[in-house]
Amino acid sequence: MLSAKDKNQEICIAVDAMGSDKGPSELIAGVKLAFREGSKKFKILLVGDETVLNPILKEQKLLGDKNIKVVHASEVITMEDKPMVAIKSKKNSSMLIAIELVKTGQAQAMVSCGNTGAMMAAGTLRLRPMSPVERPALATIIPAKDRTFVMLDVGANPSPKDVHFLSNAILGTNYARIALGIENPKVGLLTIGTEEGKGNEIVQRAHELLKNSTSAINYAGPIEGFHVYQGDCDVILCDGFMGNILLKASEGLFKMIMNLLKEEFKKNILRKFGILLASGAIKSLKKRMPVEKVSGAPLLGLNGLIVKGHGSSSKEQLCGALSVCVDCVHKNMNEHIKNDLEKVSKLLDQNQYNDD
């Protein structure tokens, strides 16, 4: 597999061009924006139907660009497809070909806005988890009161064992160092209380493992739900079931609050004038929550990098997902993960056969 350690090797990202809800046009616009704003040079393998992609590339004045190569894929995995059925029946899909490009070393990472279940299943089967990680974790960046934080797992592993929390702590720590620029991220374990003995049996065992892993992580202890958005921790650990619910509930709450504010501001002319007076505060708030810059949820712990973009991602968010890929490859995130996993290998080996 290609490595960013070779300074003469340019970073190459495979992009599933057919998976976005907004279609290939928005995705290619995101690629164009990433080329314009990126501080590091990289190449794109654009995977999809070339009869669809080439006219769009021509329209956006990218056809013939030396940094973009179209890799033809005759099939598309849709959002309605069942993951395992799609993997078996659509071997020429843009998603599977993009993952294969990472597998064969032609690309160092891939981005897809397509079917999440199919992406996680195919990525795990083709790239395989790095040893001794048993299952990969899906991580995401969430804005909080004073700073953004990494949360994992948000859907890849709904029923983890205690050792999975430890490996996820290392995955999240290394991702936070790159995505958030924090050298020694504080790690918290989400549960129902901060006192010793709180939480179910798996969480309690995970807590003990994390306490004994200070050589690899900066463990701050258990946290409760109301701590999540206070900025107390840089990495928050939870199982994929809880994480997925928390993420979607948070998104729903945010949308509801924004819609309510819009409705209230539109009720009379004085409130509309108030929007103008508050414009400076709104701009400042957006700067404190630069979600687009860290858009994309990486599937961490694989022998290769996969980043999942939201199905309805804008070009700015797609640009952010590509930026995440480039930074993680450029800074050799997976190599650092392997080094940290080695520090706790004995703990992982001793506990990997725990049931539950």
Asked whether residue 306 is assigned to any structural domain, the reply reads: no
Name every residue whose Cβ is closer than 8 Å to that of residue 299 and which is 6 or more positions away in sequence: 119, 120, 123, 124, 136, 137, 138, 156, 306, 307, 308
> What is the span of the domain harbouring residue 338?
134-295+333-356
Residues 123 and 145 in one domain: no
Residue 128's pLDDT band (cuts 50, 70, 90): very high
Task: Out of 61-65, 78-82, 254-258, 339-343, pick the least confident.
Answer: 254-258
How many domains does one find in the chain?
A: 2
Amino acid at 44: I
Residues 214 and 337 in one domain: yes
For 98-124, write each residue's pLDDT tens digit.
Answer: 999 999 999 999 999 999 999 999 999
CATH code: domain of residue 356: 3.40.718.10
* Residue 217: Cβ-neighbour burial (10 angstroms; 0-12, 13-18, 19+): buried
What is the distance between the alpha carbons of residues 247 and 37, in angstroms, rounded to a whole number? 28
Residue 8: pLDDT above 90?
Answer: no
Residues 139 and 286 in one domain: yes
Residues 150 and 282 in one domain: yes
Mean pLDDT computed over 186-201:
88
Q: DSSP label at 291?
A: G
The token pair that represents 228 in the structure block = 């999540």
What is the distance between the alpha carbons of residues 310 and 298, in angstroms, rounded to a whole number? 11
How confident is the prediction for the chain on average, in pLDDT?
Answer: 86
Nearest to 104 by CA among 6, 12, 17, 2: 2
Residues 288 and 340 in one domain: yes
Task: Report pLDDT for 38.
Answer: 72
Asked whether residue 14 is assigned to any structural domain, the reply reads: yes
Asked whether residue 3 is assigned to any structural domain, the reply reads: yes
Task: Report pLDDT for 19.
Answer: 82
Residues 105 and 187 in one domain: no
Nearest to 157 by CA among 258, 239, 254: 239
Residue 299: pLDDT above 50?
Answer: yes
Residues 53 and 187 in one domain: no
Asked whether residue 242 is assigned to any structural domain, the reply reads: yes
What is the distance between the alpha carbons of residues 171 and 138, in angstroms, rounded to a whole number? 10
- Supply the pTM of this predicted model: 0.86
Asked whether residue 321 is assigned to any structural domain, the reply reads: no
Q: DSSP label at 139?
A: E
Residues 48 and 156 in one domain: no
Amino acid at 186: K
Q: Are strands 186-190 and 218-223 parallel, antiparallel or unpaired?
A: parallel
Residues 206 and 256 in one domain: yes
Asked whether residue 319 is assigned to any structural domain, the reply reads: no
Q: Which H helix or E strand runs over 15? A: strand 11-16
Residues 199 and 342 in one domain: yes
- The top-scoring range by mean pLDDT among 163-167, 196-200, 284-288 is 163-167
- The top-scoring range by mean pLDDT among 25-39, 168-182, 285-299, 309-323 is 168-182
- Three-state SS at 220: strand
**CA-to-CA separations, 149 to 14, 158, 352, in angstroms, rounded:** 27, 20, 28
The token pair that represents 290 in the structure block = 């630069």
Name every residue whose Cβ is closer than 8 Å to that of residue 172 and which is 6 or more positions away in sequence: 137, 139, 150, 151, 152, 185, 187, 235, 237, 300
Asked whether residue 315 is assigned to any structural domain, the reply reads: no
Task: Out of 11-15, 253-257, 268-272, pick the least confident.
Answer: 268-272
What is the distance between the alpha carbons of residues 191 and 198, in angstroms, rounded to a whole number? 7
Residues 91 and 146 in one domain: no
Asked whether residue 117 is assigned to any structural domain, the reply reads: yes
Last residue of a domain, one of 127, 153, 188: 127
Residues 194 and 340 in one domain: yes
Task: Report pLDDT for 1.
Answer: 42
What is the distance between the alpha carbons of residues 289 and 287, in angstroms, rounded to a whole number? 5
Last residue of a domain, one of 110, 127, 144: 127
- Helix (H), strand (E), coil (C) string for 221-278: EEECHHHHHHCCCCEEECCHHHHHHHHHHHHHHHHHHHHHHHHHHCCCHHHHHHHHHC
In the chain the first and final C-alpha atoms are separated, in Å, by 35
